[in-house]
Amino acid sequence: MKLGIIGGAGLLGATTAFCVATEGVADEIVLTDVRENVAASHAMDIGQAVCETTATRLSVGGLDDVRFCDVILNVAGIPERSAASRDDYLRGNIAIFRELAENIKKWGTAPVFVSATNPVDVLNYSLCEMTGLPRERFIGYSRNDSLRFAWAVSEETGLPVSGIDALVIGEHGDGQVPVFSRLKLRGGGAFPELGDDAKTRILNRVNTWFAEYQKLDSGRSSGWTSAVGLCRIIRAIATNSDEVLPCSVIPDGEYGLNGVSIGLPVLLGRGGVREIIEADISGVERAGLAAAEKKIRLLIENLNL
């Protein structure tokens, strides 16, 4: 499997390249970035770091060099800055995606695109619309929401995060919907009952995480967390894994939704999205999903694609 990374010189591109190379998921990783010298330094460094344990090759090239990749990870975007919401990045990042879409239309190929640029729901849908390629080939990264939900539940219950199967659907942002109704213990067994006060504390941890991180004003995204999650998604695509993963995808009637990209549980494979899993969720959670869909749709409509 050949992986291309657009934005390979940045924090998220480089850390994901390292994680994927370490696992030997890809035969080759091509880094492309306007800062070609930085991308080249990452390729040289990562290549030597993993050469004793995997056969993954790293190289550097331009956009035309990733056109024949099986999977393209797009992490290109405007620089991170203090922001109240991920939506604040939309104006700058949609311009980058428009330019990328024009290049993709000239390629004559249809790789699987994994986008991790915010606001990811709007941008993942926009890239699909602007290129005209099949919706199954467009995946937006939103797994961090589910991980942080599991972390918040762990903080409340004392259970290890590794033993909690948690799911967040909806928007990757303020419209996220933690699905309390399907919290599970990995390996089976009944999940401990959570009272209303416990749920409120969990939601407060989930909902304030982004603001707390932004207060640090570090100028960086959560690169290591996202890189580990992206590696998991890329591995699932490469291996046709049966693991159900939360991703922002474009439904075609599932959950009564269409015309947006939104976080849902999916099975992934070599062609992208194999199946959107319709989980049994509560009425309150379904209402939250509908509200998230409405918000995302409005942002898309305002772009006049």
223-252 in b/e burial notation, b at 16+ Cβ within 10 A? Answer: bebbbebbbbbbbbbbeebeebbbbbbbbe
Coil, strand or helix at 139: strand
Instruction: Give the pLDDT score at 215.
Output: 86
Q: Given this model, what pLDDT does residue 84 score?
A: 45
In sequence order, what are the beta bridge partners of 218? Answer: none
Amino acid 87: pLDDT: 57
| Residue 82 confidence (pLDDT) | 47
Provide the CATH number for the domain formed by 143-303 in this structure: 3.90.110.10
- Would you give per-residue pLDDT tens digits along the chain (305 residues)? 999 999 999 999 999 999 999 999 999 999 999 999 999 999 999 999 999 999 999 999 999 999 999 999 999 886 655 444 555 678 788 889 999 999 999 999 999 999 999 999 999 999 999 999 999 999 999 999 999 999 999 999 999 999 999 999 999 989 999 999 999 999 888 899 999 999 999 999 999 988 888 888 887 878 899 999 999 999 999 999 989 999 999 999 999 999 999 999 999 999 999 999 999 999 999 999 999 999 999 999 988 76
Q: Which two tokens stand for residue 64?
A: 């035309």
Tokens representing residue 81 in the block: 């800055």
Domain spans in the chain, listed from the N-terminal domain onward: 2-140, 143-303
Angle between helix 90-107 and helix 120-131 axes, rounded to 10 deg: 30
| Cα Rg of the chain, angstroms | 19
Please pick, among 172, 232, 235, 297, the residue that the annotation labels catalytic: 172
Residue 213 pLDDT: 84
Buried b (16+ CB within 10 A) or exposed e, 30-68: bbbbeeeebbbebbeebbeebeeebebbbebbebeebbe
Residue 172 bears catalytic tag: yes
Cα distance between residue 182 and residue 286, in whole Å: 13
C-alpha 139/C-alpha 135 separation (Å) is 9
Give the CATH number of domain 2-140.
Answer: 3.40.50.720
| Residue 301, pLDDT score | 92
Decide if 184 contacts 165 (C-beta within 8 A): yes
- 151 close to 161: Cβ distance less than 8 angstroms: yes
Torsion of Cα atoms, 117 then 118 then 120 then 122, to 10°: -120
> Does the predicted TM-score (pTM) go above 0.85?
yes
